[in-house]
Amino acid sequence: MKPAVFSLALIAMASVAHADECHDRFSKLLINGNPDIGPTRLHITQEIGGGSTSLNYHHSDGNGNGMTEMIDPADSPWSLFLGDNMYVSNDKGQSWTFQSSFDAEKGRADSKAALTKDLVAASDLVCGTEALNGSDYDVVSGRYLSSALAGAEIYEKLWIDPETGNIVQSYRHLKMTGFESKTTQVVELSPGLELPQPD
- pLDDT tens per residue across span 24-58: 999 999 999 998 899 999 999 999 998 899 999 99
Domain boundaries, the chain: 3-189
pLDDT band at 7 (very low <50, low <70, confident <90, very high): low
- Count the Cβ atoms, other than its own, within 10 Å of residue 24: 13
| pLDDT score recorded for residue 17 | 55
Q: Nearest Cα to 43, choosing from 181, 134, 169, 193?
A: 169
Average pLDDT over residues 162-174: 97
Average pLDDT over residues 54-68: 97
pLDDT band at 4 (very low <50, low <70, confident <90, very high): low
pLDDT band at 8 (very low <50, low <70, confident <90, very high): low
Using the predicted structure, report yes or no on whether residue 6 has a pLDDT greater than 60. no
CA 67 to chain centre: 16
Q: Does domain 3-189 have CATH number 3.90.640?
A: no
Phi, psi (rounded to 5 degrees) for 198? -60, 150
Using the predicted structure, report yes or no on whether residue 13 has a pLDDT greater than 50. no
pTM: 0.88
Kindly give, in sequence order, each residue whose CB lies less than 8 Å from that of residue 174, ignoring residues fewer than 6 positions away. Answer: 146, 149, 152, 153, 154, 180, 181, 182, 183
Using the predicted structure, report yes or no on whether residue 15 has a pLDDT greater than 90. no
Using the predicted structure, report yes or no on whether residue 79 has a pLDDT greater than 80. yes
Using the predicted structure, report yes or no on whether residue 21 has a pLDDT greater than 90. yes
Using the predicted structure, report yes or no on whether residue 102 has a pLDDT greater than 50. yes
